[in-house]
């Protein structure tokens, strides 16, 4: 699967690369997902974002046109994603489950 991960910090990059070694073709971007960086998603199937990456209905429509099918957020909250727009676009959404350990 071709995927793109936005907002990846340098210290996270190595872990992400090692975790997905030869499993997926992941493009790693240090910048946040914005209207200006959206084009890097062209031809990808999956998108990994963080809770500070806001995906509006307009952005989701553009991502759909670029070929995206899946959005994964590394947070348990999904308030930064327009879930209705993603559903209407036929995209699948995934998020991490809430954990008490994450709060400590």
Domain spans of the chain, in order of start: 2-103
Nearest to 27, CA basis, from 12, 6, 51, 10: 6
Q: What is the band of 101 on the pLDDT scale with cuts at 50, 70, 90?
A: low
Q: Domain 2-103 belongs to what architecture? A: 3-Layer(aba) Sandwich (3.40)
Its pTM stands at 0.83
Give pLDDT tens digits for 85-96: 999 999 999 988
Give pLDDT tens digits for 8-37: 888 888 877 777 777 778 888 889 999 899
Q: Both tokens of residue 38?
A: 């959206």
Phi first, then psi, for residue 41 (nearest 5°) are -80, -5
Q: What is the band of 50 on the pLDDT scale with cuts at 50, 70, 90?
A: confident
């Amino acid at each position: 699967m071709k995927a793109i991960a936005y907002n990846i910090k340098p210290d996270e990059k190595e872990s992400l690369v090692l975790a997905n070694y030869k499993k997926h073709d992941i493009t790693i971007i240090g910048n946040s997902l914005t209207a200006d960086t959206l084009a890097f998603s062209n031809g990808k199937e999956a998108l990994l974002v963080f809770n500070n990456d806001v995906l509006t209905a307009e952005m989701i429509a553009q991502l759909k046109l670029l070929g995206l099918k899946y959005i994964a957020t590394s947070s348990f909250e999904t308030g930064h994603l327009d879930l209705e727009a993603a559903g209407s676009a036929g995209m699948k959404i995934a998020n991490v489950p809430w954990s008490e350990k994450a709060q400590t």
